[in-house]
Structure 1
Amino acid sequence: MACASRFQWHVLLMFLRVLQGESRYIQMKNAAEDALFLINSDLKRELSEEQIYRRSLRCIDMLSIDGQFTFTAERPQLHCALFIIGGPEDFITIEYNFVNINCLGGDILKVFDGWIIKGEKFPSSLDHPLSTVERYTDICELGKMGRITRSSQNVAMIFFRVQEPGNGFTLTIRKTPNLFPCNIISQSPSGQYTMIVPHQHRNCSFSIIYPVVIKIYDLTLGHFNELQLKKPPPRGCGGTGDFVELLGGTGLDPSKMFPLADLCHSFRGSAQMKIGCDNSVIRMVSSGKFINQVTFEYNQLDRQKEGQEGNSVEEVCYPIDS
């Protein structure tokens, strides 16, 4: 099974566990099969630039390719969610082509800028320019078809409830280039990436929903580049204004994860750390005064192998009190 397939299966299982017991209409097997079908490489090769991919949606679903997607309720669907993910350097655009739901009767169709699972958000409220309320787009309140919304990063999410059989909606999903990607969820448990924050006062997180081994090869922080320090920085990196931190946790929100390491000195070479958590995050905090850059490689951690070697990687992974 491809890495992207494993990622989609992993996220679907995580969300289904959250909704367990809340909806009797969730069909895990069918949703997982659709998720695997979405990223089939043969399908991508067969579609020419002039063609548009079309398929129906299920109550719990995930999309990673462009196309036009239709949901039609066969029976009341009360707790539904659509995860959308692009590549690291993608925005997600959503166009509402057709909506036939009963908003006055309690149906909903809302887009969330990011992902939210069991109250935990990505990007976190600390790392997103909008408040949580502003990150929701309520299609029932818009009242205009053909309108387009765009995510602030490579993930977005749609919550919907359709109670009347036969009702539903049609959406067109497209990816557009993001010249300065910031907050990212990786589609794969392994890869390499360079995160750059150019003179921007913002915090950027790269999230990997797996336990991983992370190797940082190059870290450039503007305030230390010219080696003009006359005294060491304060204990920890918080007082420097520009630093990278490694986080681990069981949920989605980086602000609720356990801080595992801070890096506030530029260096070239290699630094490695094992993070035995369900979710691992590399987070860059930038003051906006400098160009900051970090290059890293990540690979899925084999927990069984680590256990056999007597290396406890679980002890550093526990939730932090909110």
Structure 2
Amino acid sequence: MTVTSEKGYYYYKAPRETYKMENVACGVYLMANPDEIIEVHFDYVDMPCENNDIVSFVDGWELNGSYFPNDEDYNKLDRDRFREYCGKKRIKEILESSQNAALVRYQVPKAGKGFSFYFTTRKNPTPCNILVESSTYVYTLRNYGQRINCSLLLMNPAKIQILSLTVGININEKSKYMETGTFHNCDQNRISDYVQIGGGVELAQYSIITDTICGIDSIPGDIMDAIFCGVTKIRMVSSGNMNNLITLTIDKVKAEEIAEPGVLCPTIPSQRK
């Protein structure tokens, strides 16, 4: 497993010892800035199909069978998520991710065989799903008036603070200056558009949801959560009937801060999605 955000050429050639890894899939996990998408071009593939050599492009990240974005948040057809290649060829198409995360996954049991690819990025005018690095930053999730789910994920325990919220309330000329404040447990009150805050031990699924919020609140200063899970996740669910937007900061929790008040993560994932 290799994780990188460094653009350029990557090349892999299977060593002689590769026969010991016949059933092992390896991966190059690519990451870009939050407002970018990833482009991958395979300029060389030499991997015999009959030996089960294969290289694939995954739109998003996969880890232990769990995906980011998960199936509910992936805004394309499932068949668009994967591209697989073998044989000896040059691949003409340029493969694009839907967000700032992508994966090149490969299995090359035959020594001397391999592939190369070029990784670059370009601006994404409508970022939705975002994979976050550990540094503190201000992020905005919005649905652009569409029926899509957007999520922000950090693969660490984290502190989250909501800076502004406009979710689940229709805004028109009469109500655009109205402040409702922040409502809680919105998903349990038959509100179709809301934001889930929580974490888990997998990329795709929550182990715990600490809150589900909606409303119009320009200064929700008291909304702050510390999530002590391996994965921290904020997910905005949108029906397409409203323009939803949430702005927040997310900051990796330091080791000495884990003893502070916060939400501990169960080791067994919850069935709640």
Shorter-chain TM-score tier:
0.7 to 0.9
Partner of 1:261: 211
Specify which of 236, 241, 252 is matched with residue 284 of structure 1.
236
Partner of 2:14: 73
Contact map agreement 2:207 2:265 (CA 8 A) in 1: no
Query: Deviation at 1:302?
Result: 3.2
Partner of 1:125: 71
Contact map agreement 1:109 1:161 (CA 8 A) in 2: yes
Partner of 1:22: none
Alignment of structure 1 residues 1-322 onto 2, 5 Å: 60-75=1-16, 76=18, 77-78=21-22, 79=24, 80-140=26-86, 144-221=90-167, 223-225=169-171, 226=175, 236-237=186-187, 239-253=190-204, 255-269=205-219, 270=221, 271-307=223-259, 311=261, 313-314=263-264, 319-321=269-271
Query: Deviation at 1:61?
Result: 1.7
Partner of 1:56: none
Q: Provide closer, same or farther for how the CA distance between residues 247 and 235 of structure 1 changes in structure 2, counting only shifts above 3 A.
A: closer
Distance 1:129 1:300 in 2: 27
Q: Provide closer, same or farther for how the CA distance between residues 274 and 102 of structure 1 changes in structure 2, counting only shifts above 3 A.
A: same
Q: TM-score normalised to the size of structure 1?
A: 0.73
Contact map agreement 2:43 2:90 (CA 8 A) in 1: no
Query: Deviation at 1:291?
Result: 1.7
Contact map agreement 2:199 2:206 (CA 8 A) in 1: no
Query: Deviation at 1:141?
Result: 8.2
Structure 1 segments unaligned to the other structure (5+ residues):
1-59
Contact map agreement 1:72 1:165 (CA 8 A) in 2: yes
Contact map agreement 1:198 1:292 (CA 8 A) in 2: yes
Distance 1:264 1:163 in 2: 51
Contact map agreement 1:244 1:285 (CA 8 A) in 2: yes
Query: Deviation at 1:303?
Result: 4.6
Larger relative helix fraction:
1
Query: Deviation at 1:191?
Result: 1.8
Q: What whole-Å deviation, never above 9, does each CA across 1:5-39 have from its counterpart, x for those lacking one?
A: xxxxxxxxxxxxxxxxxxxxxxxxxxxxxxxxxxx
Partner of 1:32: none
Contact map agreement 1:88 1:186 (CA 8 A) in 2: yes
Secondary structure, aligned partner of 1:200: coil
Distance 2:265 2:14 in 1: 45
Matched AA of 1:160 = Y
Q: Provide closer, same or farther for how the CA distance between residues 123 and 132 of structure 1 changes in structure 2, counting only shifts above 3 A.
A: same
Secondary structure, aligned partner of 1:104: helix
Matched AA of 1:112 = V
Secondary structure, aligned partner of 2:169: helix
Query: Deviation at 1:304?
Result: 3.0
